[in-house]
Structure 1
Amino acid sequence: MHFFSVPVILLISSLSLAVRAGKCPRLCSCDGTKLTVACIGKNLTEVPPTVDEISVKLDLRNNNLQELSRGAFMHTPYLTHLNLQRCNIIKVKEGAFRSLGRVVSLNLAYNKIDILYQESFDGLSSLKELYLDHNRVEELQPGAFTQLGFLNMLALTNNQLVYIPNMAFQGLNNIKWLRLSHNSLNNLAPEAFTGLFTLNRLSLDHNELQFFPTQTMNRLREVTRLDVSYNPMTYLGEEAVAMAKLTHLYLDHMSLQDLSDQALSHAPLLSHLDLSHNQLRYLEPLSGPKELGSLNLTGNPIYCNCFMRSLRKWAGAGGVKLLGACAGPPHLSDEPLQAVAPLDLRCRSRGETLKDEFEEDNESARSTPPTAKPKQTVKCPLNCDCDIEAQHATCEGRGHTKVPRGFTSKTQLLDLRSNHFHYLPANSFPGASQVVSLHLEFCKIHEIEGGAFRGMKNLFYLYLSDNDLTSLDPGVFSGAPELTYLHLEGNRLAQFPGSALALLPSLFVLHLERNAISKVEPTGLLSSVTPKLRELYLTNNTITSIAKGALDSAFLGTLHLDSNRLTEMPTHVLSQAPNLEELNLSQNSIRWVGPNAFQSISQSLKRLYMDQMGMEKMSREALKGLGSGLRALTLRGNQLEVLPDLSQLTGLEVVDLQDNPLLCDCSLLPLRRWMENVSLEVIATCGHPPELRGQKVRDIHVFKSCPESGSPPDEKVVVATRPPKVKKPKPSLSKALGVKARPAKPRAKLPKPTKNKPQRKPVAPKVTKNKKAL
């Protein structure tokens, strides 16, 4: 019996390894030495099944995976780094990563993920870095991260989070840095960060927090750096920040008008405090921080008089460096705070100074130090909870049959959802003039009397979702002139409530999804009733027709008509909304789109959705006028055999043509050539002839025999090839679709809105009101 020598065995092993490492998927590049595979921008719709099992790094950036199925990476158990950026991923199914027990870095940034499910990351037991930034995450299901016990950094920036529930991050036993910047967070549950015993850095900047979440932050005993900048907070009260190990606190670029001298009394190790770019005119010496070395007041309207003397002396005695400059009086304007001597901080007389600097004649204001917190007493109805500091009150799910009375007059958020009110009489909310956000979802309300919200002069957000309303009294919203965001989805409204909206001149966003509206009549012209309406959502009603003039609005930018019963293109409606940017017509029964269908909004339209409509034909000029401004076009799940010319749509970033039975002959040559000349992923498959069914338009070779000119055949020939299954449109329909379009009337060029939301001047103690829902 012969045995191989050691060198021979090593040689055979190395050759075997080289053979294995040489296995590389088509369109990918592989490095056998470093065991890496890169398939970047190859229009892949699935994870390549032939990736070598021993690969340790897999880069799949810029593909079109859309969904990660269960066990998608079963064949690559040795991966340590996985990059799935910009792959159009919408859903990560449970168990998608179950075999990746060695992965330490996973990048899912710039996708379209909206929900993180309980077992989405099951199997990633060694993961240390998880990038989920720039997705559409709006919900964190508790338990989503329970398998990530070694994770050090979690990035959830630039998503759509509004609320963090209790125990949302359970299982992150080694987390060091949690990044939640650039969301729409306005509420954090008290136990939102429970269990994060190792967290030392938290980023909450660029959100919608109106009050410092003291109760939530108290759980974070190891955090040393906290960034809450760019949130619309106006006041920081006593003991607001109680974080024993905090050293760096960023509160810049907010709306702070006042700061209690006791606000940081439980942050003894604080060394750097950034209060720049707020609305502070005075500041008392801060009690608590013993290690403070830097206090940044840059960009505040600091008035350097006798009221600032104590702060200046305190800073000098404690070695605190003051950054910033005086805004007044004139002789000290622009003088650095650090350079102003305490003796220079003088007042002429107390009364005159207060009159000049506060523009108030209130006696209590003159005798009270500017940063002192007014005395408050706890006032709360039975079976409710009130947070005086946060100015929030909740009676959620407490079985109330009448609206409770007795909330403090300074309440700004009132949550009454999931009770059993049935009926709201006039003056249902006395003493609620400061309420900004009112929640009345799931309260079984079937009738609201006119004047029910009378006196709520600061009401900005109103949630009446998921009740039993069938109609609205014309005076229902009287007394709430500032109402800007109105949620009426999930009711049984049979008509568009135009007359009720006439009392809402500031209405900006209107939600009417999931109602029973069958027609939209011109009785409530948007141009006169709600002149500022920017977003209108009518998804999932029973709308069969929209009368001419019904949606007349020069300001309307978003219109969702999906999941209704329209059978014709609402071209006549579009001509009355010349600044429309987003239009959703998906899941209507519109089988034919005629020429010039979007001509009237061609200069403004950016996003057009027409999925699953049963559409059988589009005119060659259906998209005429739409050019570089259109960013998204979806036609998924229709019955189209031919498509109009897309060559003018040079600005497209998203296009979806999937699940259409395209006729793959020379009539489709313009589409094929267009697909070859664009950088974005375009998925289109053949439906005819039978021998090409299911094949991708990009992969077939039938076009090689087409004439070189590539000119599209006459439209009549295309129709004759396979006529639509519907009857020829009647003359009246043809006119509505613009077949014989009259010359467009010249219209005044309207100024384009500079922002998507209205502006209001912040006045203490109100909140900044150009934000999303509380």
Structure 2
Amino acid sequence: MLFFSTAVVLLVTALSSPVRAGKCPRVCSCDSTKLTVSCIGKNLTEIPPTIDEITLKLDLKNNNLQVLPRGAFMLAPYLTHLNLQRCNIAKVKEGAFRTLGRLVSLNLAYNKIDILYQESFDGLSSLKELHLDHNRVEEIQPGAFTQLGFLNMLALTNNQLVYIPNMAFQGLQSIKWLRLSHNSLNNLAHEAFTGLFTLNRLSLDHNELQFFPTQTMSRLPEVTRLDMSHNPMIYLGEESVSMAKLTHLYLDHMSLQDLSDQALSRSPLLSHLDLSHNQLRYLEPLSGPKQLTSLNLTGNPVYCNCYMRPLRQWARAGGVKLLGACAGPPHLSDEPLQAVAPLDLRCRSRGETLQDEFEENTGSTAPPPTAKPKQKVKCPLDCDCDIEAQHATCEGRGHTKVPRGFPAKTQLLDLRSNHFHYLPANSFPGTSQVVSLHLEFCKIHEIEAGAFRGMKNLFYLYLSDNDLTSLDSGAFAGAPELTYLHLEGNRLVQYPGSALALLPSLFVLHLERNTISKLEPTGLLASVTPKLRELYLTNNTITAVAKGSLGSAFLETLHLDSNQLTEMPTHALSEAPNLEELKLSHNSIRWVGPNAFKPISQSLKRLYMDQMGMEKMSRDALAGLGPGLRTLTVRGNQLEELPDLSPLTGLEVVDLQDNPLLCACSLLPLRRWIENASLEVDATCGNPPEVRGQKVRDVQVFMSCPESNSPPDENIVVAPKPPKEKKPKASLSKAPGVKARPAKPKAKAKPSKQKPQRKPVAPNVTKNKKTL
């Protein structure tokens, strides 16, 4: 109502004003009734100078502005909504938005902004939504948001943030939701969120936080929802989560193998706790939350013996719903936790202990260490060691050899940004307790066999951004528990299969930004890394994925984007039957043939095919994909038609933008699907010329199409001759090994029946220690 009143006042003012209104820019479309201007995808390099002064909404997405100069919008002071997505903006100069005191929504997503300066958002005193997701932000300067006192939502997802400094968000006096997902955060200053007294939702999922930032979070008195999923945490100690109003906590898809019964003792209002897909074998009753209604343990290797009985009795007494199933013993395997009676949870004998269960898997018989009196800190020269936190760092100290003499209990060792060049055998003596080792930016070009020997608890190894061209087959000997391995940003020319053969627990492998050209069928995943779940190969030079190279029943995530593929790797995908996420964007795949994803149709949830120059998709390209698919993107291709999307009833995200769709009757099924879809779908006509640039949903050309769309009677055989599918030019390769078949009625997609997958067990970390 307020917006309508404002629009009326502005319109009346404009009509009565002697000043002549600006003309609609030649390449744009304007609506004088709604006071909107749309200049989408016009390759503009500057803001059009003739925008009408009373414009309320300006859409400039998909242009090439690069730099926003000072006073860029001074001719449109009444703007309330401004969209600058995908404009290649790398720099926002001081005062660029200074005249936009009425703006409530600003979208700067999918640009190239790397630093948020103190003056970047000056003048936006009414702003309520700011979208900065999918940029390159790696630094937030103090005071960057001091002018945004009315901002409710700030999105900084999918950027390159590693650290949040003190008072980074100072000035956000009305913020409700702060989104920091999908960055590389591994550290938060204690005062990072100070001053956010109205924040009630915080998203920190998909980062690199190795311990729960207790002190930082305690500065957030009003937060009710906190998402920390997909961070590599191993353990939560006593009073880790101290948030008085927290109701929903998401700690799923982490590496938790232990949780103190007092971890949540200072979060009394917690009602929903998600611990799914971790490595918990048992859990004690949780002290503190008195209103807990749901505890999700799905995907954990829960061992249903007498040590789970107290939790089951506690859950029954408190009305807590337990989600998940038993992983053992055999007679209770796959039994829902909620259905197991407490009397069925028993041990073989009175003398059995939980430690026995862990010893079966780790081979360790050493008792947990007892507390010792404080002693003088032992630490190498020019390094810092924290006995209590069990951390040691020599970051950026100019070392040319790996220092020795770290405290025996060190669990996180940070040696990044030194100049080692070469790691000889036995480079890390006395570090058997180290769980996480950082060696990024150390100019390492060779690793001798046995360099990590003795690091029996090493779980995370970061070798990113070095000069490795190959790996010795014994490079990782002596580190059998290694689960997360980062090798991105090196110069590896082939997949290091022989070196990985010594890592039976490898779970996540990062190989982005190397020069790997082909994936060969040399037992790549099946025998070399049998437990591998996530494989990242973005930004290599891969031209082919050979059949037999992806043989893994466990692989769930595969990123092949920004490579040099020219055809769909359908045959290779048939050996990864549980694949959930596939990225193929930024390859040169012009043609996607029938049944391209059939081998993974029962498991696939997220499919990305943006910017591939794709000219044609077979009508059966998505055959078999049904309600299980959640995300589908084909942005920025050359598609005139699309396959039938109606079977994809589970879609939550779909991106069809920047395709020259042919808006004719052949596209009517898509138009109807868009009208009935419960999510927002952006699709634009490319032809015929008279409707170019208009949304498929809005054009009138479909009004003249035949209305005979009711399905034929099942007893009547209708067999019209199917139109021949127009394939791309002869230079383009055909989908390998797949013959085109006549169209046939589609059966309903069967729900996915995946067997529960057991996660790798992390090295044991005792409760009386802080986690990494």
Interval of TM-score (by shorter of Structure 1 and Structure 2): 0.5 to 0.7
Deviation at 1:649, TM superposition (A): 2.2
Separation of aligned partners in 1, 2:460 and 2:234: 16
Counterpart for residue 512 of structure 1: 511
How far 1:530 sits from its partner (Å)? 1.7
Check 1:172–1:28 CA distance in 2 against 1; reply closer, same or farther (3 A cut). Answer: farther
Contact persistence 2:78–2:102 (CA under 8 A): no
Residue number in structure 1 paired with 2:766: 763
1:142 to 140, 143, 162: 140
After the TM superposition, which residues 590-629 of structure 1 pair with which residues of structure 2 at under 5 Å, given as runs? 590-629=589-628
Change (3 A) 1:686 1:468: same
1:192-203 aligned within 5 A: 193=192
Structure 1 equivalent of residue 296 of structure 2: none
Deviations 1:104-127 (A, max 9, x none): 995679977996742597344464
Q: Say which SS state the counterpart of residue 510 (structure 1) adopts.
A: strand
- 1:447-486 paired onto structure 2 within 5 Å: 447-486=446-485
1:393 paired residue number: 392
Q: What is the CA-CA distance between 1:19 and the residue it aligns to?
A: 5.6
Distance 1:148 1:622, change over 3 A: same
The DSSP-based 3-state class of the residue aligned with 1:638 is coil
Q: Which amino acid aligns with 1:440?
A: L
Whole-angstrom distance in 2 between the partners of 1:48 and 1:429: 61
Residues 627-655 of structure 1, C-alpha deviation per residue, up to 9 Å, x if partnerless?
Answer: 22222222233333332222222332333
CA 1:537–1:16 in structure 2 vs 1: closer, same or farther (change >3 Å)?
A: closer
Deviation at 1:67, TM superposition (A): 8.6
Shift of 1:657: 2.8
Q: CA deviation at 1:512?
A: 0.9
Deviation at 1:151, TM superposition (A): 3.3
Matched to 1:77, the amino acid is P
Structure 2 distance, partners of 1:389, 1:737, is: 64
1:525 has 2:527 as partner = no
Cα shift at 1:486: 0.9
Where structure 2 has 5 or more consecutive residues not aligned to the other structure, the ranges are 1-8, 22-28, 252-257, 271-285, 291-309, 318-351, 357-364, 711-718, 744-749
Listed as ranges, the matches of 1:250-265 within 5 Å are: none
Displacement after TM superposition at 1:551 (Å): 0.3
Q: Which residue of 1 aligns with 2:547?
A: 548
Indicate how the Cα distance of structure 1 residues 223 and 749 shifts in structure 2: closer, same or farther if over 3 A, else same: closer
Q: Helix, strand or coil for the counterpart of 1:668?
A: helix
Question: Which residue in the other structure is 2:211 paired with?
Answer: 210
2:120 corresponds to which of 112, 119, 122: 122
3-state DSSP of counterpart to 2:526: helix
Instruction: Give secondary structure in 1 for the equivalent of 2:737.
Output: helix
1:298 paired with 2:288, answer yes
Q: Measured at CA, do residues 481 and 697 of structure 1 come closer, stay the same or move farther in structure 2, by a change above 3 Å?
A: same
Deviations 1:564-608 (A, max 9, x none): 222221110111111111111122222222111111111211221
Query: Secondary structure in 2 aligned to 1:536?
Result: strand
Pick the aligned partner of 2:737 from 735, 739, 746. 735
Would you say the 8 A contact 1:484–1:506 is kept in 2?
A: yes
Structure 1 pair 748/150, CA: closer, same or farther in 2 (3 Å)?
closer
Letter in 1 for 2:389: A
Q: Distance in 2 between matches of 1:755 and 1:59?
A: 51
Structure 1 contact 667–713 (Cα < 8 Å) conserved? no
AA aligned opposite 2:266 = D
* 1:412–1:437 Cα contact (<8 Å) kept: yes
Q: Quote the offset at 1:191 in angstroms.
A: 8.4
Which one has a bigger Cα radius of gyration? Answer: 1
Change over 3 Å in CA distance of 1:299–1:699 after alignment to 2: closer
**C-alpha distance in structure 2 between counterparts of 1:181 and 1:387, whole Å:** 31
Per the TM alignment, residue 143 of structure 1 is displaced from its structure 2 partner at its CA by 2.2
In structure 2, what is the equivalent of residue 6 of structure 1? Answer: none
Alignment RMSD (CA, Å): 5.6
- Answer whether contact 1:616 1:725 (CA < 8 A) is retained: no
1:486 to 1:176, Cα distance in 2 relative to 1, 3 A: same
The answer to whether the aligner puts 1:726 opposite 2:730 as a matched pair is: yes
Q: Which residue of 1 aligns with 2:26?
A: none
Distance 1:83 1:578, change over 3 A: same
| CA distance in structure 1 between the aligned counterparts of 2:198 and 2:153, rounded to whole angstroms | 12
Identical columns (%): 53
One-letter amino acid of the counterpart of residue 172, structure 1: Q
**Could you tell me whether the CA contact under 8 Å between 1:571 and 1:737 is conserved in 2?**
no
Q: Secondary structure at the match of 1:725?
A: coil
User: Do the aligned residues in 1 keep the contact of 2:107 with 2:131 (CA within 8 Å)?
Assistant: yes
The separation in 2 between residues aligned to 1:765 and 1:651, in whole angstroms, is: 44
CA offsets, 1:196-221, max 9 Å, x none? 6x67788889774627677x89xx9x
Deviations 1:413-444 (A, max 9, x none): 21111222111111111111221211111212
Aligned residue for 1:588?
587
Q: Is the 8 A contact 2:106 2:127 kept in 1?
A: no
Partner secondary structure for residue 429 of structure 2: coil
Instruction: Quote the Cα distance in structure 1 between the aligned partners of 2:60 and 2:54.
Output: 24
Q: Show structure 1 runs of 5+ residues with no match.
A: 1-12, 31-36, 260-271, 279-295, 301-326, 335-354, 742-746, 769-773
Question: Does the 8 Å CA contact 2:481/2:505 hold for their aligned counterparts?
Answer: yes
CA contact (8 A) 1:126 1:148 kept: no
**Secondary structure of residue in 2 paired with 1:522:** coil
Amino acid across the alignment from 1:735: G
Aligned ranges for residues 425-440 of structure 1 at < 5 Å? 425-440=424-439
Q: Is the 8 A contact 1:477 1:500 kept in 2?
A: yes
Which region of structure 1 is more displaced relative to structure 2, 181-190 or 692-701? 181-190
Aligned to 2:383: 384
In the alignment, which residue of structure 1 is the partner of 2:360? none
CA–CA distance in structure 1, aligned partners of residues 692 and 520 of structure 2:
45
Deviation at 1:556, TM superposition (A): 1.1
State the shift of 1:552 in Å. 0.9
SS in 2 for 1:523: coil
Q: Are the equivalent residues in 2 in contact too, given 1:505–1:532 (CA < 8 A)?
A: yes
Aligned-pair CA distance for 1:558: 1.2
What is the CA deviation profile of residues 473-501 of structure 1, one whole-angstrom value per residue up to 9, with x for unaligned ones? 22211221221111111112121111221
Cα distance between partner residues in 2 of 1:690 and 1:14: 34
Distance in 2, Cα, partners of 1:48 & 1:158 = 28
1:692–1:166 CA distance, 2 compared to 1 (3 A)? closer
The 2-side partners of 1:526 and 1:154 are apart by 46
